[in-house]
A and B are shown apart, each in its own frame.
Chain A
Amino acid sequence: AQSVTQPDIHITVSEGASLELRCNYSYGATPYLFWYVQSPGQGLQLLLKYFSGDTLVQGIKGFEAEFKRSQSSFNLRKPSVHWSDAAEYFCAVGPFSGGYNKLIFGAGTRLAVHP
């Protein structure tokens, strides 16, 4: 069955430090992969997505993610975190088939940023 695992429930980093959020997936074919961010009281905003091609994907707000098929991973990175990055981050996998698009989300990683 398809699943997404985000091993870290909470992460705290200092402002200016680098960040890596982990995501592992289980899926029978090449997945479509997404990272969304959710600020308190807000809906989910798409940071970046991977469909095919270059395995290093650039997103908004200075984020990037790398698809590693051999490790079934799609980790999110940012070289220098800003206080405004404090939020909850969700990794998702989308088994697309003929217009059928059921996103399966991980449980999320809550990021806190120390000044």
Chain B
Amino acid sequence: EAGVAQSPRYKIIEKRQSVAFWCNPISGHATLYWYQQILGQGPKLLIQFQNNGVVDDSQLPKDRFSAERLKGVDSTLKIQPAKLEDSAVYLCASSLKGGDTQYFGPGTRLTVL
């Protein structure tokens, strides 16, 4: 069974530029999560989707971050414009349904200069 796929694996941008990350969850998983992991910290949930609807985006900085999961499968997380403090690893995870075990992708490491 294929795991959670993410791309790109690494991205370097300058502040005020925009960037997008892509995630393809495990086939059949209805729930998809985006986490932000800042160096030296544990992952922090940014947004949770159930199919193509948002369950929780309370910690998403909505003035600059956006995410979508239009067909209930893959998802895109965008940052526009990026700030220095957005440097982090962005992890995507999926679960069969909300409340089930979450399986994580390898992450995208973002560096904002």
Contact = CB atoms under 8 A, between A and B. Distances in A.
Is B a genuine binding partner of A?
A: yes
A107 B106 contact: no
Contact of A43 (B98, B100, B101, B105): B105
B102 A42 contact: no
B25 interface: no
Contacts of B45: 102-103
A43 B48 CA distance: 18
Interface stretch (A13-21, A61-69, A73-81, A92-100): A92-100
A111 to B, nearest CB: 15
A43 B107 contact: yes
Interface in A81-109: 90, 92, 96, 98-103, 105-108
B34 interface: no
A56 interface: no
A44 interface: yes
B91 A43 contact: yes
The 7 residue pairs across chains A and B that have the minimum distance between CB atoms: A105-B42, A99-B98, A43-B104, A44-B104, A43-B106, A96-B99, A101-B98
